[in-house]
Amino acid sequence: MEGASSASIRWALLCTLLCLSLSLSHCNVTYDGRSLIIDGHRRILFSGSIHYPRSTPQMWEGLVRKAKDGGLDVIDTYVFWNVHEPSPGNYNFEGRYDVVRFIKTVRDAGMYVHLRIGPYICGEWNFGGFPVWLKFVPGISFRTDNEPFKLAMKKFTQKIVQMMKVEHLFQSQGGPIILSQIENEYEPVKKIFGEAGKAYMNWVANIAVGMGTGVPWVMCKEDDAPDPVINTCNGFYCDYFSPNKPYKPTMWTEAWTGWFTDFGGPLYKRPVEDLAFSVARFIQKGGSFVNYYMYHGGTNFGRTAGGPFIITSYDYDAPIDEYGLIRQPKYGHLKDLHSAMKLCERALLNANPVVEPLGNYEQAHVFSSTSGGCAAFLSNYRTNSNVRVTFRNRHYDLPPWSISILPDCVNEAFNTAKVRVGTMEFQFLPLKTGLKPWESFNEGVSFVEEDSKISVAGLLEQLNMTRDATDYLWYTTSVDISPSESFGGRSPLLRVQSAGHAMHVFINGQLSGSAFGTREKRRFNFAGNINLRVGTNRISLLSVAVGLQNQGSHFESWSTGIAGPVTLEGLDRGTRDLSWQKWSYKVGLKGEYMNLHLPDSSQSGSWMHESSIMQKQQPLTWYKTYFDAPEEDEPLALDMGSMGKGQVWINGQSIGRYWTALAKGECGGCSYSGTYRPVRCQSRCGHPTQQWYHVPRSWLKPTDNLLVVFEEIGGDALRISLMKRSVSAA
């Protein structure tokens, strides 16, 4: 073997001998400076992230099959601590959370698994995957050298490793898991944690390795990952990346296929030409493992979206769309890339690349050896001009920003910018089956005034009150106005400062305004003139969480809710600070206590019939209707374009938060945005960021499916419609 160091040759030999002395199917996975070594063989592996709670178990097999047909070898998933341990010591591995079933589905398809246990995951997932109860463990400080945190994190990690061992799911036991991840993206927060952060990193590596899984551990984006843990790259491009030791393979555990978005943001698309170019660049520099993040993004069902403000769809512009449909040309072009790469695999694994300049911005990377044959990658790094290059006396035309792959050093099998797959477009189409007549239920504000249990002087932090069992917390106070008060002829100005994320202001039970933060700036100020009357006035502020922070240092200490001050300006006696007067609190909504979203809700008598909702678009209203499952078999979605903001349930299961906030951005055209920034295109500007919401087929029964909507601001429920997602050639 040419070009590899003698240390790595020894390591590979050792593994091969070990493999032969054990049975082949019970072989440890090892690595050397070139790649992972499975069953004694070096491998170039393509992997894709599919997160099991972001789809339904009924979708898993189809998704995994499509991934395999797309040329992937590995499925990668995080483990989502907060859905598995909703309260300390109480575990849930049922339904969408059945991680063992998911891994077995991948195994049965003949693929490998990369299990990213974390348990900090980021992932645009609520609280970065941490259960909210963890924040309330006395003395806790997340992701640093802190005993209460380390205890809880180790316990959960061990629990997951143990579950996998019991089911024989590690490759060392004959199972599909070839790789595991501990922690995630520590590099960006490391400086803040200083020495304690370093101690934590060493501890994390030790406990992981000590769990004896028989497969390597990685840390994604942690430059100082202690041996033998492999540090890996994430980003839009990773060809600049090298692991921290020469005897570790070059792995890209998150190649971003698109991007997530927030309510009010545009949708981001990453052209497949740019993605394929970045992958080819990585492989030609010696990379041997690429995981597409995401390969199927899916849906943030329920209140699992993080943020704040991450939308319910986690489509990500991935090769398989949110609904499980193949996205062309992204899927097909990557499949072609994988086929071309597989033709080069022997050459890639048996030689180090020799770089030959072909021009100022053009290069050839040549992998040549007697044992592996020859493969070449010809690259044009110019962003806007075609070039004709000469390589070994032959001419090759390279489009801008592209790489041609020559598996035999002669014939071009693939060029990253020459897409041979046709474009398909998705659309939502109406269905024959409609929704039955609607009923409504007024949530109202009165409940708070009558029922409030907690009254204290001052403003309380939202999560301390809700423990994230609900998005909603009512803050209510009163203001007395004497008959002599004239406000100088104007309405007084109410000012409220909130730590996030959204708020609706009700004065004497009437909606008087709303205010929202953004993902960049979750804190916001409300200022609005309000109508007060002589006597006692109720000021009720409904503070709404829209997904908890999923990244940043010490995010456990970030506050949510009305932080204050709350002031009234324009009263005859000057500005009045309401922050320290008596406030009453109510956690959650009346409808939540009544379980209005459940099919067997006992309160069915209090719903009003359709005629009443046709007249007014009331805030704080629950709507319900029924529908029969459509006969067609395309995926389904609800068009919520006529509504404002709230949540939707089907047969008692939450399909997520909806919000028709209009997208701001720079739409039109796709642009190359600079070194190591991707080519990106934005869409939906001026339209709701998310108008359609996935209704999983498996949640439906043949007839009388219950659809419940809770609307915060006011919308037209009669115009909600069920649609099918279909694909057509562009």
Question: Which conformational region is residue 205 in: left (phi greater than 0), alpha (psi within -120 to 50 degrees), or beta?
Answer: alpha
Stretch that binds ligand GAL, among 122-130, 144-152, 439-447, 467-475 (CB under 6 A): 122-130
The yes or no reply on residue 49 touching ligand GAL (CB under 6 A) is: no
The Cα–Cα gap between 673 and 711 comes to 39
Among 53, 71, 123, 286, binds ligand GAL (CB under 6 A): 123
* Complex with ligand GAL: residue 261 or 601, whichever CB lies closer: 261
* Complex with ligand GAL: residue 299 or 404, whichever CB lies closer: 299
Note whether 291 and 47 are within 8 A (CB). Answer: yes
Strand partners, 681: 269, 670
* Complex with ligand GAL: residue 121 or 563, whichever CB lies closer: 121
What does the DSSP assignment read for 647-678?
EEEETTEEEEEEE-PBB-S--SSEEE-STTS-
* Rounded alpha-carbon distances, angstroms, from residue 306 to 83, 123, 137, 273, 408: 13, 8, 21, 30, 47
DSSP letter for 460, please.
Answer: P
Q: Helices marked H in 457-529 — which ranges?
A: 462-466
**Size, binding site for ligand GAL by CB under 6 A:** 10
| Minimal distance, residue 99 CB to ligand GAL, in Å | 17
| Minimal distance, residue 466 CB to ligand GAL, in Å | 24
- 536: which 2 tokens? 């006692």
Closest among 533, 571, 519, 525 to 689, alpha carbons compared: 519
Q: What is the contact mask toward ligand GAL in residues 223 to 252, using x (rule: CB under 6 A)?
A: -----------x------------------
* Complex with ligand GAL: residue 254 or 712, whichever CB lies closer: 254
3-class secondary structure, 517: coil
**398 phi, psi to nearest 5 deg:** -115, 115
Closest among 209, 278, 260 to 49, alpha carbons compared: 260
The Cα–Cα gap between 115 and 113 comes to 6
| Chain residue whose CB lies nearest ligand GAL | 122
Instruction: Spell 480-516 as b/e; 16+ CB within 10 A means b.
Output: ebeeeeebeeeebbbbbbbbbbbbbbbbbeebbbbbb
**444 phi, psi to nearest 5 deg:** 65, 175
Tell me the torsion sign for CA atoms 608, 613, 619, 623.
positive
The yes or no reply on residue 184 touching ligand GAL (CB under 6 A) is: yes
Stretch that binds ligand GAL, among 115-123, 373-381, 420-428, 691-699 (CB under 6 A): 115-123
* Complex with ligand GAL: residue 237 or 710, whichever CB lies closer: 237
* Complex with ligand GAL: residue 278 or 402, whichever CB lies closer: 278
| Residue position matching structure tokens 């704040």 | 308
Q: Helices marked H in 432-491 — which ranges?
A: 446-451, 462-466
Q: Helices marked H in 422-531 — which ranges?
A: 446-451, 462-466
The yes or no reply on residue 254 touching ligand GAL (CB under 6 A) is: yes
Strand partners, 680: 671
| Minimal distance, residue 220 CB to ligand GAL, in Å | 6
| Minimal distance, residue 97 CB to ligand GAL, in Å | 18
Stretch that binds ligand GAL, among 38-46, 119-127, 564-572, 721-729 (CB under 6 A): 119-127
Stretch that binds ligand GAL, among 66-74, 121-129, 392-400, 659-667 (CB under 6 A): 121-129
Establish whether 450 is a catalytic residue.
no
- 729: which 2 tokens? 């050639």
| Minimal distance, residue 254 CB to ligand GAL, in Å | 6
* Complex with ligand GAL: residue 232 or 440, whichever CB lies closer: 232
Question: Which residue in 185, 222, 362, 439 is the catalytic one?
Answer: 185
Among 73, 85, 183, 185, binds ligand GAL (CB under 6 A): 185
Stretch that binds ligand GAL, among 116-124, 263-271, 450-458, 521-529 (CB under 6 A): 116-124
3-class secondary structure, 207: helix
Establish whether 185 is a catalytic residue.
yes
- Under rule CB under 6 A, which residues in 528-587 are in contact with ligand GAL? none
Stretch that binds ligand GAL, among 92-100, 120-128, 387-395, 515-523 (CB under 6 A): 120-128
Stretch that binds ligand GAL, among 18-26, 95-103, 118-126, 158-166 (CB under 6 A): 118-126
* Complex with ligand GAL: residue 269 or 590, whichever CB lies closer: 269
Q: DSSP E strands: which ranges in 105-157?
A: 112-118
- Give residue 61's identity as a one-letter amino acid code: E
The Cα–Cα gap between 347 and 499 comes to 56
Count Cβ atoms below 10 Å from residue 342 Cβ, excluding itself: 15
* Complex with ligand GAL: residue 265 or 646, whichever CB lies closer: 265
Question: Which residue in 124, 183, 222, 254 is the catalytic one?
Answer: 254
The Cα–Cα gap between 445 and 448 comes to 6
Note whether 461 and 564 are within 8 A (CB). Answer: no
The Cα–Cα gap between 714 and 645 comes to 8
* Complex with ligand GAL: residue 122 or 267, whichever CB lies closer: 122
Pseudo-torsion of CA 161, 166, 170, 174, nearest 10°?
170
- 477: which 2 tokens? 């106070």
* Complex with ligand GAL: residue 262 or 443, whichever CB lies closer: 262
**677 phi, psi to nearest 5 deg:** -105, 145
Among 76, 124, 274, 468, binds ligand GAL (CB under 6 A): 124
The yes or no reply on residue 122 touching ligand GAL (CB under 6 A) is: yes
The Cα–Cα gap between 290 and 45 comes to 7
Among 260, 377, 438, 516, binds ligand GAL (CB under 6 A): 260
* Complex with ligand GAL: residue 124 or 556, whichever CB lies closer: 124
Max Cα distance, the chain (Å):
99
| Minimal distance, residue 198 CB to ligand GAL, in Å | 20
Residues that bind ligand GAL (CB under 6 A): 121-124, 184-185, 220, 234, 254, 260
Residues annotated as part of the active site: 185, 254
